[in-house]
Amino acid sequence: MYKPIPKEIREQILTRIKNEGITANQAAGDAGVSPKTVYDWLAKGATGDPNIVAFNRLRKENEGLYQLVGKLTSELNKIKRGRLPR
């Protein structure tokens, strides 16, 4: 039988995921809740805009990944031409 999860528990779980950076699976397991339930809660709350801190972190991460891809592409081209990277 379905037993509703108290609002306080739900808020605790979502706060831990957002503030502590733990996974939804870990938070669900710690609270004895189905991971699917936690993912459903997250999906319902995902309609808002990301906060500026999260946005800037993702932007910096994205820039770093672009730089890494560029460096690896350059090294791959050197290898294809017969010149080993330094």
Q: Is 0.75 topped by the overall pTM?
A: no
- pLDDT, residue 27, reads 92
Asked if the model's pLDDT at residue 52 lies above 60, the reply is yes
Is the pLDDT confidence value at 67 over 90?
yes
**Do residues 21 and 44 share a domain?**
yes
Domain that holds residue 13: 1-48
Average pLDDT over residues 75-82: 90
**From CA 42, how far away is CA 40, in angstroms rounded?**
5
Considering the domain architecture, whether residues 1 and 19 belong to the same structural domain is answered as yes
Contacts from 35-38 at CB under 8 Å and sequence distance 24+? Answer: 37/5, 38/13, 38/14
Side chain identity at residue 20, one-letter code = E
pLDDT of residue 49 exceeding 70, the answer is: no
* 29 and 68 belong to one structural domain: no
Domain holding 21: CATH number?
A: 1.10.10
